[in-house]
Amino acid sequence: MSNAIFYVSYKLKKGASVPSFLHASEKLNDEYMSKQKGYISWQQGLDGETWADLITFETMEDAKRVEESTDPNELAENFYSFINLMSCKTHFFSVERSY
């Protein structure tokens, strides 16, 4: 079975502090995401005003389980407070080949 990538692109809210956003991202990763079943890594990219998160999991089931989680999570709420949620686009990809 191949690894899976949960891909999300988005823009931050007007006036959002990038250093504060990155701090919230790091806390979410270190204290929650990295402890989820199948978690491998989280990369954040930036192109102009568009951010992209590529979160890699061992399986598609692991990726979808985290995305579908409805548990209240203060770390996630803080992270999402910086994001213009109307700009979010999500996709799941299976890793077909790595070089």
pLDDT of residue 66: 86
Give the total number of structural domains in the chain. 1
Residue 27, domain member (yes or no): yes
Torsion of CA 17, 22, 24, 27, to 10 degrees: -160
Helix/strand/coil (H/E/C) assignment for every residue in 47-78: ECCEEEEEEEECCHHHHHHHHHCCCCCHHHHH
CATH code of the domain containing 46: 3.30.70.100
Domain that holds residue 80: 4-94
Residue 99, domain member (yes or no): no
What is the residue-level pLDDT of the chain in tens, covering all 99 positions?
699 999 999 999 999 999 999 999 999 999 999 999 999 999 999 999 999 999 999 999 999 998 887 777 899 999 999 999 999 999 999 999 989
* Tally of CB atoms within 10 A around 43: 10
On whether the pTM is more than 0.75, the answer is yes
Query: In Å, how far from its chain's centre is CA 93?
Result: 13
Residue 50, domain member (yes or no): yes
Residue labelled with tokens 């949620």: 85
